[in-house]
Chain A
Amino acid sequence: MEPKTVALITGANSGFGLALSRALAREGLKVYATYRSPRKAGFLWELSRALPVYPILMDVKRESSVQRAVRQVLKREGRIDVLLNNAGFVMAGFWEDLSDKDVRDQFETNVFGLLRVTRAVLPSMRRRGTGKILNIGSIAAFAAVPGLGAYSATKSAVSALTEALRLEARPFGVDVAEVNPGEIKTAIVRNTRMGERVLSANSPYTPFTRQFEAFAKERFNHAAPVESLVKMVLKALSHSPMKRRYLVKPPDYATYFLRQFLPDSLWEWIVSRMFPWSRFPQRKF
């Protein structure tokens, strides 16, 4: 009997991570699903009773925690075939409202955390000459939105890291790619963090932030179900080699292609129709 494929999924206690853990386990993979806080791992433990899902404690923000978790899996299984870098969150706020700490926190999880896990897993994949790393990015990587700048910046950074790592790891037989979902209904909205000074009384952006909140809420009512992302991840993992990038829904393709082929000025005109607060106060000429 063929041994089961071993997958490691970060940030699996809710949202994409939880859905992906369930789906991959149903596909017959052995899934090591990481959670940051035991308090929040309830759903994951529930899942583990019915499927080959093994919850494991890992805080991507801490090197020692990442190393320990990866060592644990490697000791038990001898290998990790698939790494899904999923852990991440959204830090909302206009740039001027974000403190040093806000910006750093956002990168610490979404970028440095991803690098930390990759660094822990990749050597074992290189030694075996095989493995797949799939990073969960976002359509925000290509279309920066006012009020979500820090998040967009982290996802753009992930996109660059995926591209470079893909080139560097390929000669070792390790395949790296990225999935860039658009708006998908998950806990990511509930888990959105606001910068320390966002919505404070003396911020000039407070009225914009309010408008943005209302706008985002409305948009997420029409967001795609998480199954669409799961389907795309399964498809990506079935490819050998994977494509560099996988988009999920038709609106995401539209965004991606418009962003590439429209001149900046036209693109911004469209965005400023969508976000009416991002317009100049008056025409200068």
Chain B
Amino acid sequence: MENRQVALITGCSTGIGFETALLLARKGHRVFATLRNPEKAGLLREAARGLDLEILPLDVDKPASVKKAVAAALQGAGRIDALVNNAGWGAFGAVEEFSDAEIRAQYETNVFGLVRVTREVLPLMRRQKRGRILHIGSLAGKMAFAGIGLYCSTKHAVEAATESLRLETRPFNIEVAVVEPGTIRTPFKTNRRIAKVFQEGRSAYRKPMENLLRFANHPSPSTPGPEKVAAVVWKALQSKRMAARYPVGADAVWLPFLRRLMPDSLFDRVLEARYARFQQLG
């Protein structure tokens, strides 16, 4: 009897995807760990030695690549019980200073790519009459910050997509939820693209952005690592019925809570004061 759960995870070359793939495999899932660039599979292959973890190339930006990877997983395991939509990256810069191409690229991966993989897996899950889909969202999906407004907007879109999809797939016994990590020590830094205008030194927001970058590059030592997110993904997949949201880390719990308690004007004052400091620093 084949009782093992089959999971498909996107964006597994580093960070949250990497740790989640390993954890689920260690817990006995059959894991299809996908990543955009097969050349970056070395670390994962090394770490997954002896585990039932198969690496597949999948670029969520490309419809053909999505189709191919899902078909390959289906052929290998016959079904997909859990989909973890993790692939994503962060655009850094002032909202005003992104070009059309930069904006489209950010959405292509973080939103359209996520929808694309989900759409490919849903018919299959409907046939199975069961399935779980976890989106890796962010604290940035609950509130927006200066300097990463565009990234925040993609994660807000993911929150809304989760909420609606969650209700749309219920009649088919498919559950959808979003995991919301706060600040996490991940190679997100390498997974970041800085607005070209800023890189070329033409930004009208140069000073605050420089200070924000410096701040973002030095997370505090107490910041949780990606394995904490992986543990929450595991917990969600094990629950009898998934909750709508799974915040990870103290900031992801407290900041939205504080924001709900405070009037908009007061909360704005706090964010403004914080941003004003970035305007003045060095």
Contact = CB atoms under 8 A, between A and B. Distances in A.
Interface of A: 63, 94-96, 98, 100, 103-104, 107, 111-112, 115-116, 118-119, 122-123, 126, 140-141, 144-150, 152-172, 204-205, 208, 243-245, 260-261, 264-265, 268, 271-272, 275, 277-281, 284-285
A107 B107 contact: yes
Contacts of A147: 164, 168
A164 B152 contact: yes
Contacts of A145: 164, 167
Contacts of A265: 243-244
Nearest to B274: A167
B164 A167 contact: no
Contacts of A281: 171-173
B96 interface: yes
Nearest to B176: A95
A275 B169 CA distance: 13
A152 B163 contact: yes
A278 B168 contact: yes
Interface in B115-132: 115-116, 118-119, 122-123, 126
Contact of A280 (B118, B156, B171): B171
A60 to B, nearest CB: 12
B240 A165 contact: no
Given A103-B115, A243-B264, A158 B172 contact: no
A177 to B, nearest CB: 10
Contacts of A103: 111-112, 115
Interface of B: 63, 94-98, 100, 103-104, 107, 111-112, 115-116, 118-119, 122-123, 126, 140, 143-150, 152-173, 204-205, 208, 240-241, 243-245, 260, 264-265, 268, 271-272, 275-276, 279
B153 A158 contact: yes
A160 B265 CA distance: 16
Given A152-B163, A167-B272, A160 B96 contact: no
Contacts, number: 192
A155 B153 CA distance: 9
B119 A96 contact: yes
B19 to A, nearest CB: 26
6 contacts: A107-B157, A144-B160, A145-B164, A164-B147, A204-B172, A265-B243
A154 B107 CA distance: 11
B167 A107 contact: no
Most B CB contacts (10 A, CB to CB) among A63, A153, A162 go to A153
* Closest A-B pairs by Cβ, 10 of them: A164-B149, A149-B164, A144-B163, A278-B167, A163-B144, A264-B244, A157-B153, A167-B146, A153-B157, A156-B160
Chain B interface mostly: helix
A93 to B, nearest CB: 10
B160 A163 contact: no
B160 A167 contact: no
B103 A112 contact: yes
A261 B260 contact: yes
A122 B204 CA distance: 11
Contacts of A164: 95, 144-150, 152-153
Contact of A63 (B100, B171, B208, B271): B100
Nearest to A145: B164
Contacts of A280: 170-171, 173
A245 B168 contact: no
A161 B144 contact: yes
A156 B163 CA distance: 11
Nearest to B112: A103
B265 A243 contact: yes
Contact of B161 (A119, A149, A166, A243): A149
Contact of B243 (A94, A115, A264): A264
Contacts of B166: 268
A95 B140 CA distance: 22
Nearest to B145: A164
A163 B149 contact: yes
A208 B172 CA distance: 12
A46 to B, nearest CB: 34
Contacts of A172: 204
A168 B95 contact: yes
Given A103-B112, A165-B149, A157 B154 contact: yes
Contacts of A100: 63, 112, 115-116
B205 A168 contact: yes
Nearest to A115: B103
Contacts of A98: 115, 119
Contacts of A104: 112
